Structure 1
Amino acid sequence: MSTQQALDGRVAIVTGASRGIGAATARALSSAGAAVVLAARDADALHALAAEIEATRHERLRVVAGDALDRATIDVVLPGHTAVLSALGATTRARTTIYSRGTANLCRSMTAAGVRRLVCLSFGALDSGAGTPAAQRLVTRLIIRPPHRHAYADMRRMEDELAADDRVDWTVVRAPMLTNGPHTGAYRFTHDGDRPLDRPTQISRADLADFVLGHLDDHALFRRRVSLSY
Protein backbone atom coordinates (compact mmCIF):
# COMPACT_ATOMS: atom_id res chain seq x y z
CA MET A 1 0.00 0.00 0.00
CA SER A 2 1.38 3.44 -0.89
CA THR A 3 1.73 6.24 1.66
CA GLN A 4 -0.95 8.12 -0.28
CA GLN A 5 -3.41 5.23 0.11
CA ALA A 6 -2.48 4.67 3.75
CA LEU A 7 -3.14 8.27 4.76
CA ASP A 8 -6.29 9.00 2.75
CA GLY A 9 -9.00 9.75 5.28
CA ARG A 10 -6.56 10.18 8.17
CA VAL A 11 -6.72 13.36 10.24
CA ALA A 12 -3.50 14.52 11.92
CA ILE A 13 -2.46 17.51 13.99
CA VAL A 14 1.12 18.78 13.69
CA THR A 15 2.33 20.86 16.63
CA GLY A 16 5.31 23.15 16.06
CA ALA A 17 4.22 23.27 12.42
CA SER A 18 5.35 26.82 11.61
CA ARG A 19 8.90 25.96 10.55
CA GLY A 20 11.60 23.31 10.20
CA ILE A 21 10.67 19.67 10.58
CA GLY A 22 7.12 20.53 11.69
CA ALA A 23 6.51 22.36 8.40
CA ALA A 24 8.19 19.57 6.40
CA THR A 25 5.98 16.96 8.09
CA ALA A 26 2.86 19.03 7.44
CA ARG A 27 3.75 19.29 3.75
CA ALA A 28 4.36 15.54 3.52
CA LEU A 29 1.11 14.67 5.31
CA SER A 30 -0.86 16.95 3.03
CA SER A 31 0.78 15.49 -0.08
CA ALA A 32 -0.05 11.99 1.17
CA GLY A 33 -3.75 12.76 1.39
CA ALA A 34 -4.25 13.33 5.12
CA ALA A 35 -6.38 16.11 6.54
CA VAL A 36 -3.98 18.28 8.54
CA VAL A 37 -4.26 20.78 11.37
CA LEU A 38 -1.28 23.14 11.62
CA ALA A 39 -0.66 24.27 15.21
CA ALA A 40 2.03 26.62 16.52
CA ARG A 41 2.51 29.95 18.26
CA ASP A 42 3.58 31.93 15.17
CA ALA A 43 0.30 32.73 13.41
CA ASP A 44 1.97 34.58 10.51
CA ALA A 45 4.29 31.67 9.73
CA LEU A 46 1.39 29.21 9.96
CA HIS A 47 -0.73 31.16 7.50
CA ALA A 48 2.22 31.46 5.11
CA LEU A 49 2.71 27.69 5.24
CA ALA A 50 -1.02 27.11 4.79
CA ALA A 51 -1.03 29.34 1.70
CA GLU A 52 1.90 27.37 0.27
CA ILE A 53 0.18 24.03 0.86
CA GLU A 54 -3.20 25.25 -0.39
CA ALA A 55 -1.51 26.40 -3.61
CA THR A 56 -1.13 22.70 -4.42
CA ARG A 57 -4.94 22.42 -4.15
CA HIS A 58 -4.94 20.62 -0.85
CA GLU A 59 -8.28 21.56 0.69
CA ARG A 60 -8.32 19.66 3.99
CA LEU A 61 -6.18 22.07 5.95
CA ARG A 62 -6.81 24.01 9.16
CA VAL A 63 -4.65 26.55 10.98
CA VAL A 64 -4.68 26.95 14.78
CA ALA A 65 -2.42 29.54 16.40
CA GLY A 66 -1.80 28.67 20.03
CA ASP A 67 0.64 27.57 22.69
CA ALA A 68 1.17 23.89 23.58
CA LEU A 69 1.68 25.02 27.17
CA ASP A 70 -1.96 26.16 27.15
CA ARG A 71 -3.95 22.94 27.38
CA ALA A 72 -7.20 24.73 26.47
CA THR A 73 -5.81 25.33 22.97
CA ILE A 74 -5.04 21.63 22.54
CA ASP A 75 -8.39 20.51 23.94
CA VAL A 76 -10.17 22.50 21.23
CA VAL A 77 -8.35 20.96 18.25
CA LEU A 78 -7.78 17.30 19.25
CA PRO A 79 -11.26 15.74 18.99
CA GLY A 80 -11.72 13.90 15.72
CA HIS A 81 -8.02 13.36 15.02
CA THR A 82 -6.31 10.01 14.57
CA ALA A 83 -2.70 10.99 15.25
CA VAL A 84 -0.55 13.77 16.69
CA LEU A 85 2.93 14.60 15.38
CA SER A 86 4.83 16.83 17.76
CA ALA A 87 7.67 19.01 16.52
CA LEU A 88 7.64 21.30 19.54
CA GLY A 89 10.79 23.37 19.90
CA ALA A 90 12.40 25.95 22.15
CA THR A 91 12.97 29.40 20.64
CA THR A 92 15.78 30.39 23.01
CA ARG A 93 18.61 28.67 24.87
CA ALA A 94 17.15 29.53 28.27
CA ARG A 95 15.57 27.01 30.64
CA THR A 96 12.45 25.56 29.07
CA THR A 97 9.59 23.14 29.68
CA ILE A 98 8.13 23.29 26.17
CA TYR A 99 9.03 19.66 25.47
CA SER A 100 8.00 18.05 28.77
CA ARG A 101 5.00 20.23 29.67
CA GLY A 102 3.86 20.59 26.09
CA THR A 103 3.96 16.84 25.52
CA ALA A 104 2.28 16.16 28.88
CA ASN A 105 -0.53 18.50 27.80
CA LEU A 106 -0.81 16.64 24.51
CA CYS A 107 -1.04 13.28 26.29
CA ARG A 108 -3.75 14.47 28.69
CA SER A 109 -5.79 16.02 25.89
CA MET A 110 -5.30 12.98 23.66
CA THR A 111 -6.57 10.69 26.39
CA ALA A 112 -9.65 12.86 26.90
CA ALA A 113 -10.31 12.88 23.14
CA GLY A 114 -9.66 9.16 22.64
CA VAL A 115 -6.59 9.70 20.43
CA ARG A 116 -3.73 7.24 21.03
CA ARG A 117 -1.04 7.73 18.35
CA LEU A 118 1.73 10.22 19.13
CA VAL A 119 5.07 10.78 17.37
CA CYS A 120 7.50 13.17 19.10
CA LEU A 121 10.70 14.52 17.63
CA SER A 122 13.84 14.57 19.74
CA PHE A 123 17.59 14.78 19.12
CA GLY A 124 20.20 12.09 18.56
CA ALA A 125 22.67 14.03 20.68
CA LEU A 126 20.81 12.91 23.82
CA ASP A 127 22.67 9.63 23.53
CA SER A 128 25.81 8.74 21.59
CA GLY A 129 25.72 5.05 20.79
CA ALA A 130 28.67 2.69 20.78
CA GLY A 131 28.86 3.01 16.99
CA THR A 132 29.49 6.74 17.16
CA PRO A 133 33.14 7.60 16.44
CA ALA A 134 35.09 8.82 19.47
CA ALA A 135 35.79 12.21 17.87
CA GLN A 136 32.10 12.71 17.15
CA ARG A 137 31.16 11.78 20.73
CA LEU A 138 33.72 14.30 21.99
CA VAL A 139 32.37 17.07 19.75
CA THR A 140 28.82 16.26 20.88
CA ARG A 141 29.75 16.33 24.57
CA LEU A 142 31.98 19.43 24.50
CA ILE A 143 30.54 21.58 21.70
CA ILE A 144 26.99 20.60 20.73
CA ARG A 145 25.39 19.79 24.08
CA PRO A 146 26.58 22.69 26.30
CA PRO A 147 24.80 25.59 24.54
CA HIS A 148 21.62 23.51 24.23
CA ARG A 149 21.81 21.89 27.67
CA HIS A 150 18.47 23.27 28.88
CA ALA A 151 16.60 22.05 25.81
CA TYR A 152 18.29 18.65 26.03
CA ALA A 153 17.46 18.36 29.72
CA ASP A 154 13.81 19.03 28.99
CA MET A 155 13.79 16.58 26.08
CA ARG A 156 15.14 13.99 28.48
CA ARG A 157 12.30 14.74 30.89
CA MET A 158 9.84 14.41 28.01
CA GLU A 159 11.22 11.02 26.99
CA ASP A 160 11.27 9.70 30.57
CA GLU A 161 7.69 10.82 31.18
CA LEU A 162 6.50 9.22 27.95
CA ALA A 163 8.20 5.96 28.91
CA ALA A 164 6.06 5.87 32.07
CA ASP A 165 2.83 6.78 30.22
CA ASP A 166 0.63 3.93 28.98
CA ARG A 167 -2.22 6.13 27.77
CA VAL A 168 -0.74 6.78 24.32
CA ASP A 169 1.05 4.76 21.63
CA TRP A 170 4.10 6.99 21.40
CA THR A 171 7.23 6.89 19.30
CA VAL A 172 10.17 9.22 19.94
CA VAL A 173 12.24 9.88 16.82
CA ARG A 174 15.80 10.98 17.54
CA ALA A 175 17.53 12.67 14.62
CA PRO A 176 21.13 13.88 14.24
CA MET A 177 21.94 17.13 12.43
CA LEU A 178 19.02 18.18 10.22
CA THR A 179 19.59 19.57 6.72
CA ASN A 180 17.43 21.14 4.01
CA GLY A 181 18.48 18.45 1.54
CA PRO A 182 16.04 16.61 -0.75
CA HIS A 183 13.98 13.52 -0.05
CA THR A 184 16.00 10.39 -0.86
CA GLY A 185 14.37 7.56 1.10
CA ALA A 186 17.89 6.20 1.66
CA TYR A 187 18.25 6.34 5.44
CA ARG A 188 18.89 3.92 8.29
CA PHE A 189 17.11 3.54 11.59
CA THR A 190 17.22 1.48 14.71
CA HIS A 191 15.29 1.51 17.98
CA ASP A 192 16.16 1.05 21.62
CA GLY A 193 15.48 -2.67 21.45
CA ASP A 194 18.26 -3.08 18.86
CA ARG A 195 21.98 -2.30 18.72
CA PRO A 196 22.84 1.43 18.54
CA LEU A 197 22.89 3.09 15.12
CA ASP A 198 26.40 2.97 13.71
CA ARG A 199 28.01 6.33 12.87
CA PRO A 200 24.98 8.65 12.81
CA THR A 201 25.70 11.80 10.80
CA GLN A 202 22.79 13.82 9.42
CA ILE A 203 19.42 13.58 7.71
CA SER A 204 17.26 15.95 5.70
CA ARG A 205 14.00 17.24 7.09
CA ALA A 206 12.28 15.78 4.04
CA ASP A 207 13.59 12.28 4.80
CA LEU A 208 12.74 12.62 8.49
CA ALA A 209 9.17 13.52 7.50
CA ASP A 210 9.14 10.57 5.10
CA PHE A 211 10.11 8.22 7.93
CA VAL A 212 7.42 9.57 10.24
CA LEU A 213 4.71 9.13 7.62
CA GLY A 214 5.89 5.70 6.55
CA HIS A 215 5.87 4.37 10.12
CA LEU A 216 2.82 6.12 11.51
CA ASP A 217 1.02 2.77 11.88
CA ASP A 218 4.08 0.62 12.57
CA HIS A 219 3.18 -1.19 15.79
CA ALA A 220 6.74 -2.49 16.12
CA LEU A 221 7.79 1.10 16.87
CA PHE A 222 5.07 1.88 19.42
CA ARG A 223 6.62 2.86 22.78
CA ARG A 224 10.09 2.94 21.22
CA ARG A 225 12.88 5.50 20.86
CA VAL A 226 14.04 5.46 17.25
CA SER A 227 17.39 6.75 15.99
CA LEU A 228 17.56 7.82 12.35
CA SER A 229 20.41 8.84 10.04
CA TYR A 230 21.94 8.44 6.59
Structure 2
Amino acid sequence: MISVFGHVAGSPPDLQTEGTRGIVTAMHAHGVRRIISLSGAGLPSPEDRPLLADRLLGGALRAIARSVLRDAAGHLLVLRESRSDWTVVRAPRLTDTPPRGSYAVGVVGTNRVRSISRADLADAIVDQLTDESQMQRLPLVG
Protein backbone atom coordinates (compact mmCIF):
# COMPACT_ATOMS: atom_id res chain seq x y z
CA MET A 1 0.00 0.00 0.00
CA ILE A 2 1.26 3.47 -0.82
CA SER A 3 -0.34 6.46 0.88
CA VAL A 4 0.60 9.95 -0.31
CA PHE A 5 -2.39 12.11 0.58
CA GLY A 6 -2.05 15.26 2.63
CA HIS A 7 -3.51 18.56 3.63
CA VAL A 8 -4.86 21.23 1.31
CA ALA A 9 -6.77 24.37 2.20
CA GLY A 10 -9.94 23.40 4.06
CA SER A 11 -8.83 19.88 5.00
CA PRO A 12 -10.01 18.55 8.36
CA PRO A 13 -7.26 18.89 10.98
CA ASP A 14 -7.07 15.10 11.47
CA LEU A 15 -7.13 14.17 7.77
CA GLN A 16 -3.91 12.14 7.74
CA THR A 17 -4.56 10.45 11.09
CA GLU A 18 -8.09 9.35 10.28
CA GLY A 19 -7.29 8.53 6.67
CA THR A 20 -4.40 6.34 7.80
CA ARG A 21 -6.63 4.67 10.38
CA GLY A 22 -9.07 3.76 7.57
CA ILE A 23 -6.29 2.50 5.33
CA VAL A 24 -4.81 0.33 8.09
CA THR A 25 -8.24 -1.12 8.87
CA ALA A 26 -8.77 -2.00 5.19
CA MET A 27 -5.25 -3.45 4.94
CA HIS A 28 -5.87 -5.75 7.88
CA ALA A 29 -9.22 -6.86 6.46
CA HIS A 30 -7.50 -7.88 3.20
CA GLY A 31 -4.27 -9.32 4.63
CA VAL A 32 -2.00 -6.52 3.41
CA ARG A 33 0.96 -5.86 5.72
CA ARG A 34 3.24 -3.36 3.93
CA ILE A 35 2.47 0.37 3.83
CA ILE A 36 4.64 3.24 2.66
CA SER A 37 3.31 6.59 3.82
CA LEU A 38 4.46 10.09 2.87
CA SER A 39 4.98 12.89 5.34
CA GLY A 40 6.91 16.11 5.46
CA ALA A 41 10.46 16.55 6.69
CA GLY A 42 9.07 18.35 9.76
CA LEU A 43 7.88 15.07 11.30
CA PRO A 44 10.67 14.22 13.75
CA SER A 45 12.38 10.84 13.95
CA PRO A 46 14.33 9.56 16.97
CA GLU A 47 17.24 8.98 14.57
CA ASP A 48 17.47 12.65 13.52
CA ARG A 49 20.55 14.67 14.41
CA PRO A 50 19.36 18.20 13.62
CA LEU A 51 21.88 20.96 13.06
CA LEU A 52 21.18 24.55 14.09
CA ALA A 53 19.59 25.37 10.71
CA ASP A 54 17.35 22.29 11.04
CA ARG A 55 16.28 23.38 14.54
CA LEU A 56 15.44 26.87 13.31
CA LEU A 57 13.45 25.51 10.38
CA GLY A 58 11.67 23.07 12.70
CA GLY A 59 10.71 25.91 15.04
CA ALA A 60 9.35 27.92 12.14
CA LEU A 61 7.33 24.93 10.91
CA ARG A 62 5.87 24.36 14.38
CA ALA A 63 4.80 28.00 14.50
CA ILE A 64 3.31 28.06 11.00
CA ALA A 65 1.92 24.54 10.58
CA ARG A 66 1.27 23.28 14.10
CA SER A 67 -1.95 21.42 13.25
CA VAL A 68 -0.46 19.75 10.17
CA LEU A 69 2.54 18.53 12.20
CA ARG A 70 0.20 17.30 14.95
CA ASP A 71 -1.75 15.34 12.35
CA ALA A 72 1.45 13.89 10.87
CA ALA A 73 2.44 12.70 14.36
CA GLY A 74 -1.05 11.23 14.81
CA HIS A 75 -0.76 9.28 11.56
CA LEU A 76 2.62 7.95 12.70
CA LEU A 77 1.07 6.81 15.98
CA VAL A 78 -1.65 4.92 14.05
CA LEU A 79 1.08 3.16 12.04
CA ARG A 80 3.17 2.35 15.11
CA GLU A 81 0.15 0.84 16.87
CA SER A 82 -0.85 -1.22 13.84
CA ARG A 83 0.55 -4.65 13.04
CA SER A 84 1.77 -3.29 9.71
CA ASP A 85 5.22 -3.28 8.17
CA TRP A 86 5.35 0.50 7.74
CA THR A 87 7.80 3.07 6.46
CA VAL A 88 7.12 6.80 6.57
CA VAL A 89 9.07 8.53 3.81
CA ARG A 90 9.73 12.14 4.79
CA ALA A 91 10.23 14.67 2.04
CA PRO A 92 11.52 18.24 2.06
CA ARG A 93 10.13 20.89 -0.32
CA LEU A 94 8.77 19.32 -3.51
CA THR A 95 9.65 20.73 -6.91
CA ASP A 96 8.39 20.27 -10.45
CA THR A 97 11.93 20.07 -11.82
CA PRO A 98 13.00 17.15 -14.02
CA PRO A 99 14.11 14.05 -12.10
CA ARG A 100 17.80 13.73 -11.33
CA GLY A 101 17.53 9.96 -11.20
CA SER A 102 19.17 9.81 -7.79
CA TYR A 103 18.45 10.88 -4.26
CA ALA A 104 19.87 10.45 -0.78
CA VAL A 105 18.11 8.51 1.96
CA GLY A 106 19.05 9.57 5.48
CA VAL A 107 17.92 11.50 8.51
CA VAL A 108 17.69 15.17 9.42
CA GLY A 109 21.19 16.45 10.09
CA THR A 110 22.96 14.11 7.68
CA ASN A 111 20.87 14.60 4.55
CA ARG A 112 21.30 18.31 3.78
CA VAL A 113 19.13 18.42 0.68
CA ARG A 114 16.28 20.92 1.05
CA SER A 115 14.16 19.83 -1.93
CA ILE A 116 13.37 16.89 -4.19
CA SER A 117 11.56 16.61 -7.51
CA ARG A 118 8.18 14.93 -7.38
CA ALA A 119 9.43 12.32 -9.86
CA ASP A 120 12.46 11.41 -7.72
CA LEU A 121 10.23 11.28 -4.64
CA ALA A 122 7.85 8.89 -6.42
CA ASP A 123 10.81 6.66 -7.31
CA ALA A 124 12.01 6.70 -3.69
CA ILE A 125 8.57 5.75 -2.41
CA VAL A 126 8.17 2.86 -4.87
CA ASP A 127 11.68 1.61 -3.95
CA GLN A 128 10.52 1.27 -0.34
CA LEU A 129 8.03 -1.43 -1.32
CA THR A 130 10.91 -3.90 -1.61
CA ASP A 131 13.51 -2.26 0.66
CA GLU A 132 13.18 -3.71 4.15
CA SER A 133 16.10 -1.68 5.54
CA GLN A 134 13.80 1.27 6.30
CA MET A 135 10.93 -0.75 7.80
CA GLN A 136 9.57 0.84 11.03
CA ARG A 137 11.67 3.94 10.25
CA LEU A 138 11.24 7.49 8.91
CA PRO A 139 13.82 8.03 6.17
CA LEU A 140 14.32 11.55 4.83
CA VAL A 141 14.80 11.58 1.06
CA GLY A 142 16.20 14.40 -0.99
Q: What interval of TM-score do these two structures reach, taking the shorter chain for normalisation?
A: 0.7 to 0.9
1:207 equivalent to 2:123? Answer no
Find the aligned partners of 1:171 and 1:91 in 2 and give their Cα distance.
23
Between the two proteins, the alignment pairs up a number of residues equal to 140
1:223 equivalent to 2:136? Answer yes
Find the aligned partners of 1:148 and 1:141 in 2 and give their Cα distance.
10
Q: TM-score, length-normalised on structure 1? A: 0.55
CA separation of 1:170/1:135 partners in 2, compared to 1, >3 Å: closer, same or farther?
A: closer
What is the SS of the residue equivalent to 1:135? helix
What percentage of residue pairs aligned between the two structures are identical?
A: 33
> Residues 157-172 of structure 1: matches in 2 within 5 Å?
157-166=74-83, 168-172=84-88
What is the SS of the residue equivalent to 1:125? coil
What is the SS of the residue equivalent to 1:126? coil
Q: 25, 28, 40: which one pairs with 1:111?
A: 28
Q: Tell me which structure has the larger Cα radius of gyration.
A: 1
Unmatched segments (≥5 aa) in structure 2: none
Alignment partner, residue 8 of structure 1: none
Find the aligned partners of 2:106 and 2:116 in 1 and give their Cα distance.
14
> Residues 1-230 of structure 1: matches in 2 within 5 Å?
84-92=1-9, 96-127=13-44, 129-132=48-51, 134-142=52-60, 144-166=61-83, 168-190=84-106, 196-229=109-142
Contact 2:111 2:140 survives alignment (8 Å): no
Q: Letter of the aligned partner of 2:33 in structure 1?
A: R
Q: TM-score, length-normalised on structure 2? A: 0.85
CA separation of 1:107/1:159 partners in 2, compared to 1, >3 Å: closer, same or farther?
A: same
Q: CA RMSD in A?
A: 2.2
